[in-house]
Amino acid sequence: MSKAHVVISGGGTGVGAETARQFAYAGYRVTILGRTEETLVAQGLPYQICDVADALAVKTAFEKARKAQGPITIVVANAGAARSLPFAKMSAADLTAMTDVNLTGVFNVWQAALSDMKAAKSGRMIAIASTAGLKGYPYVSGYCAAKHGVVGLTRALSLELAATGITVNAICPGFIETPLLERSIENIVSKTGMSAEDAAKSLSKGNPQRRFIQTDEVAATALWLCSDAARSINGHALSLSGGEI
C-alpha cells in the first residue's frame, strides 16, 4: 500500500504533523486536514482546510483531496481537543464540545473515506484515541467519554467491515509531548501554583516508564498498521503507555 493516498486530520501540528511526515517519507500520497491554514502550509504537503465536526466541510475536503490525489485508501482520524473541568461545573455544551471534535470528528472522516475503500476492497481506518478511551481520569470526564466512544466505534465498525478488506483500529497513547500537553501543564500551574516541572511530573507519573509518549511513536504505529504485516490487526485499541494500561 506504499503508493496509497492517506488523509490525516489534525495534520498541522503534533501527532498529525509527524504522522504526515512519516507517511510521506514512506512514499504515500498524503493530504492533511486542519482548521488553521498557517500550520498546514508549514508542513509542505497538500492540504484541505476544514473543521472535522462539520460533516459537509469534511465531505467537501475529501472530494477535493480525491480529485487532486486519487482515491483514499487510508484515513487517520487524529484531530482532537481536551479541556479540564470538574464534572460538577460542566454544562451540556462542554460535553458536546468534547464529543464534537473527538468522536463525531472521527465518524465524519471515516465515513467520508468509506466509499473509496469499499470500491478498492482494501483500506485502513485509524483513530488516534487515548488511554482516556480505556480508563478514566479525573477532571476530564467529557474527554474520557468521547474517547471511550471512539474505542466503541472502532470495535463495532471493525466487525461490520471485517469481510471487506478494510481494517479499523484505534491507537491509544498516554500523555504525548505536544502543544496540547503544554496547555495542560499551563492549566495545572495556573490553578494550583505548582511549578511547570512539578506539573509535568504529576502527569508523567502514571506512565511506569516515567516519561511522556513521543509523536514519532504514535506515527510509527499508524504506519505499521498500514503495512501488510498488520493485515489481521482489526478492532484493536492499541495502548502506547509504557505499561500504564
Catalytic residues: 143
Length of the chain: 245
The beta strand positions in the chain, using DSSP E, are 5-8, 29-34, 47-49, 74-77, 123-128, 166-173, 237-240
How far apart are the C-alpha atoms of 238 and 31, rounded to whole Å? 24
**Cβ distance 138 to 182 under 8 Å?**
no
29-34: strand order across its sheet: 47-49, 29-34, 5-8, 74-77, 123-128, 166-173, 237-240
CB 171 within 8 A of CB 213: no
Strand partners, 170: 127, 237
Cell of 74: 487510508
β-pairing, 166-173 vs 47-49, is: unpaired
Distance, in Å, from the CA atom of 101 to the CA atom of 82, rounded to the nearest integer, reads 9
**Beta-carbon contacts of residue 92 (< 8 Å; ≥ 6 apart):** none
Residues 204, 212: Cα–Cα separation, whole Å:
6
Count other Cβ atoms within 10 Å, centred on residue 196. 12
